[in-house]
Amino acid sequence: QLQLVESGGGLVQPGGSLRLSCTTSGFRLNYYAIGWFRQAPGKEREGVSCISSSGGTTNYAGSVKGRFTISKDNAKNTVYLQMNSLKPEDTAVYYCAAGSVYGLVRQDYAYWGRGTQVTVSS
């Protein structure tokens, strides 16, 4: 059974950092693209970052480019999202997802975790 579990969320002050982890099981991580998405209250779920199945290609939403870094460790079946210089507008539930198509389009991802809350506040 294919599963994704997010962890690493929490409360952080503006300017701070968090590292989210997406631990996967039931499939080979190098067979799927992995995306990070987030959803703030009252807003649509939006793509944040993605990494190709090979790990050789990454992409970021404009709002996080230069602040967030996505990476993967196939041996640990885990994808990471390092988030630096966090802003209050980064507050959301963050989800990781697996799909066969690389990109930031939510509909391209078939398998989803349950999310982890990130709150940026002083």
pLDDT on residue 1: 87
pLDDT on residue 20: 98
Q: DSSP string covering the chain, please?
A: --EEEEE--EEE-TT--EEEEEEEESS-GGGSEEEEEEE-TTS--EEEEEE-TTS--EEE-TTTTTTEEEEEEGGGTEEEEEE-S--GGG-EEEEEEEESS-SS-GGGEEEE---EEEEE--
pLDDT in tens, 14-27: 999 999 999 999 98
Q: Which residues of the chain have pLDDT under 70?
A: none
pLDDT on residue 49: 98
pLDDT on residue 82: 98
